[in-house]
């Protein structure tokens, strides 16, 4: 039986439309169920069509970048997953002749952060090396004010280009309107980040490349890069480290089903073949409970959980 929502999307979108597409392959944890539909949006007309179709069907939507902080329930999700196509990639860099003037970087929402970091370094701009090891896109990084190694998006972001799914148009917002703070940006629920502008200081390319090499080496040594994971699972509490707390209460290596707290870095959860989203979900809840019971600190997940997850008995 055909799905009227999928039919409407196929009739109105030029990009690929997939019905009942598994989202596991679009997440770095490699677990989870199907979306009602997945659309590869190739232009603003596709995004507008998605907004109209979802509104008429009463269906939710979400943008899936590289899925580096996304956990989809095993029984799937009843909405439309949107992935920005190649038209939303690309970087333009302007470096003024004046030695003291900052460089201006305009970048598409689907551009991978590591690629952007390398291009910025090649242009002799500094302040974005932290992004070389972050497995996400520019759009996702704006939405959560991503950061690492002492830097974050708020340091460089000057404005964002948003496509509003309800109104079907673009809006340009100054970074100051996003209320950027640690792992947070205030954006309308129907906003898709399709581009952004960064301001970065001049630097020596060789020094920036050396900094990126050091970051890559540090991540290889201290993070489980060879195993499926979603990056940092919990935000750091004020003045403390989530990984330190998890390790301090003895939860490093804790395993439920096919999911384990990494023995390399305690703020990472890794999965092995056969793992389920429920395994990861239950492990998250058990770690939260164990840390809260022992320290009084309730960790806040950084990973976004989508769909229906079963209640977890942590007693």
Residue 262 has pLDDT above 90, yes or no: yes
83 φ, ψ to 5°? -120, 130
Percent helix / strand / coil, the chain, rounded to 5: 30, 30, 40
What pLDDT was estimated at residue 161? 98
Which residues, other chains included, contact 77 with Cβ-Cβ below 8 Å and sequence gap of 6+?
23, 33, 34, 35, 36, 62, 306, 307
In the set 111, 161, 211, 302, the catalytic residue is 302
In the chain, the largest separation of any two C-alpha atoms, in whole Å, equals 64
pLDDT band of residue 137 (cuts 50, 70, 90) is very high
Which residues, other chains included, contact 31 with Cβ-Cβ below 8 Å and sequence gap of 6+?
24, 71, 72, 74, 228, 258, 259, 271, 275, 276, 277, 279, 280
What pLDDT was estimated at residue 95? 93
Residue 234 has pLDDT above 90, yes or no: yes
The per-residue pLDDT of the chain, averaged, comes to 96
Active site residue 183: yes
What pLDDT was estimated at residue 294? 97
The string of DSSP codes covering 151-196 is EEGGGTEEEEEEEETTTTEEEEEEGGGG--BTTB----TTEEEEEE
What pLDDT was estimated at residue 31? 98
Residue 295 has pLDDT above 90, yes or no: yes
What pLDDT was estimated at residue 205? 92
222 φ, ψ to 5°? -110, -5
Strands (DSSP E) found in the chain: 17-22, 34-41, 61-63, 70-72, 77-84, 91-94, 103-108, 125-126, 147-148, 151-152, 157-164, 169-174, 191-202, 255-256, 259-261, 269-271, 304-306
Q: What does the alpha-carbon distance between residue 29 and residue 181 come to, in Å, rounded to a whole number? A: 26
Q: What does the alpha-carbon distance between residue 32 and residue 305 come to, in Å, rounded to a whole number? A: 10
pLDDT band of residue 100 (cuts 50, 70, 90) is confident
Q: What does the alpha-carbon distance between residue 36 and residue 32 come to, in Å, rounded to a whole number? A: 13
Name the CA radius of gyration of the chain, rounded. 20
Q: What does the alpha-carbon distance between residue 216 and residue 135 come to, in Å, rounded to a whole number? A: 12
What pLDDT was estimated at residue 63? 97
Active site residue 293: no
In the set 232, 260, 262, 282, the catalytic residue is 232
Strand partners, 301: 234
Q: Which two tokens stand for residue 30?
A: 């490699």
What pLDDT was estimated at residue 315? 86
Which residues, other chains included, contact 233 with Cβ-Cβ below 8 Å and sequence gap of 6+?
242, 267, 268, 269, 284, 287, 301, 302, 303
Q: Which domains does the chain have, with CATH numbers?
A: 4-87 (3.30.43.10), 89-222 (3.30.465.10), 242-306 (3.90.78.10)
Closest CA to 234 of 172, 289, 157, 160: 289
Residue 173 has pLDDT above 90, yes or no: yes
In the set 183, 216, 219, 272, the catalytic residue is 183
């Amino acid at each position: 039986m055909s799905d009227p929502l999928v039919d409407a999307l196929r009739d109105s979108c030029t990009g690929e439309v997939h019905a009942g597409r598994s989202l596991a392959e679009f997440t770095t944890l490699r677990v989870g169920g199907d979306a009602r539909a997945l659309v590869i949006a190739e232009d603003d007309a596709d995004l507008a069509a998605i907004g109209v179709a979802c509104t008429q069907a009463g269906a939710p939507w979400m943008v899936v970048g590289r899925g580096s902080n996304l956990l989809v329930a095993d029984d799937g999700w009843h909405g439309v997953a949107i992935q920005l196509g190649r038209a939303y990639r690309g970087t333009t860099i302007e470096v003024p002749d004046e030695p003291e003037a900052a460089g201006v970087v305009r970048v598409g929402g689907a551009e991978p952060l590591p690629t952007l970091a390398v291009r910025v370094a090649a242009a002799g701009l500094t302040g974005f090396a932290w992004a070389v090891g972050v497995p996400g896109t520019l759009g996702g990084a704006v939405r959560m004010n991503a950061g690492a190694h002492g830097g974050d998006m708020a340091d460089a972001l000057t404005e964002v280009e948003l496509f509003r799914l309800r109104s079907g148009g673009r809006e340009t917002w100054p970074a100051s309107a996003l209320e950027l703070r640690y792992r947070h940006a205030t954006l309308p629920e129907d906003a898709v980040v399709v581009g952004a502008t960064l301001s970065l200081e001049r630097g020596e390319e060789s020094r920036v490349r050396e900094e990126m090499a050091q970051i890559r080496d540090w991540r290889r040594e201290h993070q489980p890069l060879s195993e499926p994971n979603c990056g940092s699972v919990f935000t750091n509490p004020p003045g403390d480290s989530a990984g330190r707390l998890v390790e301090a209460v003895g939860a490093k290596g804790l395993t439920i089903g096919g999911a384990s707290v990494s023995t390399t870095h305690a703020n990472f959860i890794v999965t092995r073949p056969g793992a389920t989203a429920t395994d990861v979900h239950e492990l998250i809840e058990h770690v939260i409970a164990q840390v809260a019971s022992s320290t009084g600190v309730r960790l806040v997940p950084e990973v976004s959980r989508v769909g229906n997850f079963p209640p977890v008995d942590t007693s």
